[in-house]
Structure 1
């Protein structure tokens, strides 16, 4: 009897061993196929570059105003999400000289990222070269980042027979820290770029950030935990809800904190501080950073925050959020106009207490470009008009901003 039991036990152990071995082989096979696919993609560089050239040279669609040419999906991520496989896409935008920020961003957030790149005249080939370099020379960017392009109709690419976008993975593109909206004589269309990147994202929810921001490593985990809790409580997920991710600024030369405890430690040492604390404190203070610091650190905890002008938080929300108004260009009111519409449309804001965003470098008022105040005055007039339009659009709403 004992021998029989021992024999059965050994059979069970052997069976489990074979199962483990099989699962490991199966897992390695999947990884091998994935790496093989990515290597195959890498071998198609010339083909991809020719396809991009064709997209740039051929006529393509314009934006609503007819002022900009729009080229979606210039290069797509090798791992393209579906509404079920991934729930969150980071939406961002920049000029070609800021694409290097994607390297660190994808290291911290290994999930879908949709980026719209603004270019113009002689910069087009440089933009394509930079996009191709980061796609083919960085495994995380290749897996997760989808690129789109926008350029003004009155400054199209040079219609030259020569097309040189060759690159070497050992030589990164030249980058500068100049502001996106410091391009001489060309208006930078933040909101058009955001709308483009948002439209071609493939997940149910989005987080719109600046490209030089880094999310805390646990961002996806916290978001997924919140989603799961809604389901377990058998409550309907409110489509008009926005989960605010508190934003901070980090002194140059320091590493981005890996968790809340590290961030608070750096905060106490004045190495990190709330975003825009010097540049525009009213734009962020309604996040209530003191309450955030005093809150318990739990994956699902959050507190309600009321909208007050001129609050412009960074948030996670359903992809169905109101579009950004594309009339706002250059500096000022481009983000708050969309937050304002969300508020009037009935969105509720709650602040997540265990996640954060970090902007690399302190924002100082004296560092803004010289035309900032003129642009601010121009957009302030447009914002007043925009708010009156919202009253007509949401006649039943009693909210104002």
Structure 2
């Protein structure tokens, strides 16, 4: 066998060295990659175990309430920055998160603000008071809260700069009427085409020596828009009612004030009354002359004022059908009965179209039809559907509700009749739909002329 030449031997040595060098390079790359991966995983675990860093936020537009450029987002193990939340109930109200109504014309916001006692009180009581309002009449809530000790579900309609006023009112309640705020759940509705603007809180928002919601704070643009668009009453009623958690709901308008101690009286009454799934308990409502200085203390006082024409059944002068079927004469004839517990005075036996009592019932009653916008046919259509289903209307005594001020047709604006006329046309469709749904026409509405105008 021939010995390799010197040049061949040198080539073999060089080839062996090249292989060793390539192997060492490959091992170094693998080693470095493995070490890097270990270091990366370790760093990631450390970051995950730490509290999240503060995230940068874009500065707020000039028209909105200024917020700090850097804030910490709340997380599971880090408490949220509650100081501002506790100080301004609607500070985190987000206009982007409302749910649409069926027409997609309105955005609805459940529980925009909730008092600390609302959930617990709802679990303890049998009846919640549900009401709805626009911003300019929201101050009426204080009259209701002075007499109603149970939970209150309040739906408020806002547009434009009215949202700023609502934020101010919620803040004022928290600071100046904390007992009222604690029992409150506040819900908001806005029109899709003109949602609210936060802006700065009004000067009275944290001043308990000031009256909240003084007149003249809404912009002319907002007032003009509101005058051209109907108020969605039935949307608001459904919003307030559906966010109650008690077995029964007492649905009223914001200007209807319950008698003192009504929440407790209803709790006792409903606790000892046999279950009646198709019963609606009617609470008589009177208009009270503004010359009367104090709220009637009891039914005897209402009867005395009635005899002197200082209290009359609600809507008697402007639209007698509104409460006529409740039979106030029979209610008054039964006497004061202050010592008696709340009881059924009598049943409604002469139900007629356009009857719209304020009643207490389980929230299994039909929803208010949201096609009726503005005034006319908003409440009575819902009550008529209850009648078709078979509900019995039972008038209670000695409790009552009051509307401050005697109403007159002279002060009814023309735009109300325009809205009423539009709703009358919707009612023609509505009554045919009810007939198709229930196969009933107890008042023979399909064979009679349209109902009288509601002024």
The 1:52–1:350 alpha-carbon spacing in structure 2 relative to 1, beyond 3 Å, is: same
Deviation at 1:201? 0.9
Deviation at 1:165? 5.2
Equivalenced residues, count: 350
Whole-Å separation in 2 of the counterparts to 1:70 and 1:55: 12
Question: Within the alignment, does 1:204 sit opposite 2:240 as a pair?
Answer: no
Deviation at 1:105? 1.0
Structure-1 residue corresponding to 2:43: none
* TM-align CA RMSD: 2.5
The 1:366–1:175 alpha-carbon spacing in structure 2 relative to 1, beyond 3 Å, is: farther
Question: Within the alignment, does 1:313 sit opposite 2:357 as a pair?
Answer: yes
* 1:354-376 Cα distance to aligned partner (Å, 9 max, x none): 11110011111111222111111
Structure-1 residue corresponding to 2:106: 68
* 1:92-141 Cα distance to aligned partner (Å, 9 max, x none): 11111212112121111111111100000122212221222123321332
The 1:48–1:253 alpha-carbon spacing in structure 2 relative to 1, beyond 3 Å, is: farther
Gaps of 5+ in 1: 1-42
Equivalent of residue 342 in structure 1, options 386, 390, 394: 386
Equivalent of residue 116 in structure 2, options 64, 78, 95: 78
Structure-1 residue corresponding to 2:416: 372
Equivalent of residue 279 in structure 1, options 294, 318, 322: 318
- TM-score, with normalisation over the residues of structure 1? 0.81
Structure-1 residue corresponding to 2:59: none
Higher Rg: 2
* 1:324-348 Cα distance to aligned partner (Å, 9 max, x none): 1111111111010110111111110
Equivalent of residue 183 in structure 1, options 215, 221, 226: 226
Q: Is the 8 A contact 2:375 2:420 kept in 1?
A: yes
Structure-2 residue corresponding to 1:304: 347
Equivalent of residue 193 in structure 1, options 194, 215, 236: 236
Whole-Å separation in 2 of the counterparts to 1:163 and 1:53: 11
Runs of 4+ in structure 1 displaced over 6 angstroms? none
Question: Within the alignment, does 1:120 sit opposite 2:159 as a pair?
Answer: yes
* 1:151-173 Cα distance to aligned partner (Å, 9 max, x none): 10100234x8x544562222223
Structure-2 residue corresponding to 1:399: 442
Whole-Å separation in 1 of the counterparts to 2:147 and 2:97: 37
Question: Within the alignment, does 1:145 sit opposite 2:188 as a pair?
Answer: no
- Greater relative contact order (Cα < 8 A, sep 6+): 1
Structure-1 residue corresponding to 2:453: none
Gaps of 5+ in 2: 1-80, 446-455
Deviation at 1:245? 0.4
Whole-Å separation in 2 of the counterparts to 1:213 and 1:356: 10
Question: Within the alignment, does 1:130 sit opposite 2:173 as a pair?
Answer: no
Q: Is the 8 A contact 1:181 1:187 kept in 2?
A: no
Deviation at 1:52? 2.7
Whole-Å separation in 2 of the counterparts to 1:216 and 1:171: 27
Q: Is the 8 A contact 2:85 2:92 kept in 1?
A: no
- TM-score, with normalisation over the residues of structure 2? 0.72
Whole-Å separation in 1 of the counterparts to 2:230 and 2:428: 21
Whole-Å separation in 1 of the counterparts to 2:378 and 2:225: 16
Whole-Å separation in 2 of the counterparts to 1:382 and 1:358: 31
- DSSP-derived class of the 1:64 partner: coil
